[in-house]
Chains A and B, each alone.
Chain A
Amino acid sequence: MATVSVSWGAAARAVWRGPSGWLLRALATLYELGAFTVITLGVMLTKFRRAPALIRPMIREQVWLAGVRLLPMVVFLGLVLGLVVVGQTVALLTRVGAHDFIGTVMVVVVMRELGPLLAALLVLARSGTATAVELGTVRALGEVEALESLGVDPVHYLVVPRVVGLAVATFCLTTYLVLVTVLSGWVFAFLQDVPLTPGEYFQQLNGALRVEDFVLLMLKSAAFGIVIAVVSCYQGLARPLHVEEVSRVTTRAVIEGVVGCVVVDAIFLLGYLLL
């Protein structure tokens, strides 16, 4: 009997580590991430009013770190994105006599797709990695157990401020990025001698925008922030670590963060198509 159970265990391990095991591992990670998200949401709801004097400043700090400090970079990216989108499309649209659609292209490309995704990737690169490193270090140094011994819920203290902070920061950064890109788009169109007055340009934008765009932009960018925070916190905290493993979990947080954001983006794309 013992032989049978050992061979079953060995077979399971072989499948898990083998070339086809990636699907199993991906499903296991997805399951664990889902469970971590549910726990975080549960803590967020049940401890909503607990320790506000401690938690609220931490949320503000996260918004500062992930949002305000990234503003110069977002402005720069917005300027470049405006140039790229206009530079690539103006020649083509003018050739077919469709420069009246520059505003529409800006809305579709920047507001619905590139803006939120670019802002999310920026937050992931700047704050997601920092979160994974910081929480991985907290875990490796045994500070999670120290928090538990003090009666402090580690999820409430370490994860909730990051989830809320990154959701708010990503939404705000996305808004700024879209605004800067739209404005720089007109400037670059003007510099390329496109016969388009500011009034006409904003008229085009106004015509292309729908109320759903604003709602979905808000939901999508906040969802990106939540995905980045949850993945980074999960990788940092979920299992016992040694200090030398922190770099490995940070890399995993980045990869899973990118995959998570792309999956969320695809889900919202379905939303746009259905609306």
Chain B
Amino acid sequence: MSAEALVELDRVTVAHAQSEEPLVSGVTWRLMPGEFWVITGDQGSGKTSLLLTMAGLQRPAAGTVRVRGRDVVSASEAEQIEWRRRMGFVFESPGRLLHHLTVAENIALPLKYHGEPAATERVEQLLTESGLMTYAHYLPSRLSPRLQHRVALVRALAYPTDVLFLDNPLGGLGPSGVQWWHEFIQQWRTKHPLAVVATATDSDEWGQLADHYAVLERGQFHIADGRN
């Protein structure tokens, strides 16, 4: 018996969130547990909008997006919250941390909201694992965009998650920054089953970590490895 797809897109058209102008059309794609996808494309090609649509955070202009077999448009609010609780989304740098909360409070937010009883211990553990403990009581404005983005990654993984969406996390990073992300994601995936979908400007950014590639070109979604 084959595993259930985590996310499925069926002939989806993605439009710009504000202008509603179609960016990508005819996307048919599946995300299976444990896969690592990298989606590349030029600036303005619709990578972010497509990623938001895949994560169920933006409605498709046409077509169907199914999360664990449920259509996200017709899903109840409880189903949507449950799905969002079990996925992580890291926005483009600096990651949209809540500016009035400290690093530790930002990471604790999803845990406390969803009623995790051992939120404090979990936050301490995550901060230690990510090497961010020094900044636990800093407000985001005191951190560099690079560090804020790391905190956003830790926050996205705070609640037990099996899908992680990353919006161009390595864009503009130097070699040491790229290495930190590679090592952190790799270590996390050895301990926790995690499917990853990342956008990138260069398909080589994720090196050996990625196992599937897709390209956005002239409004079309091309799967580079031809699996789907």
Contacts and interface: CB of A to CB of B under 8 A. Distances in A.
Interface in B56-94: 57, 80-85, 88-89, 91
Contacts, number: 65
B114 A151 contact: yes
Contacts of B155: 150
B171 interface: no
A127 interface: no
Nearest to A151: B84
Contacts of B95: 146
A137 B82 CA distance: 28
B112 A149 contact: no
A150 B96 CA distance: 12
Contact of B18 (A142, A146, A149, A240): A240
B55 A149 contact: yes
Q: Looking at A137, A142, A143, A240, which has the most chain B CB atoms within 10 Å of its CB?
A: A143
A138 B106 CA distance: 14
A134 B96 contact: no
A51 B114 CA distance: 7
A39 to B, nearest CB: 12
Contacts of B82: 151
Interface in B87-115: 88-89, 91, 95-100, 109-110, 112-115
Contacts of B57: 145, 148-149
Interface of B: 18, 55, 57, 80-85, 88-89, 91, 95-100, 109-110, 112-115, 152, 155-156, 159
25 contacts: A50-B113, A51-B113, A53-B112, A53-B115, A54-B113, A138-B98, A141-B99, A143-B97, A145-B96, A146-B98, A147-B98, A148-B84, A149-B156, A150-B84, A150-B85, A150-B109, A150-B113, A150-B155, A151-B80, A151-B82, A151-B83, A151-B110, A151-B159, A152-B109, A152-B113
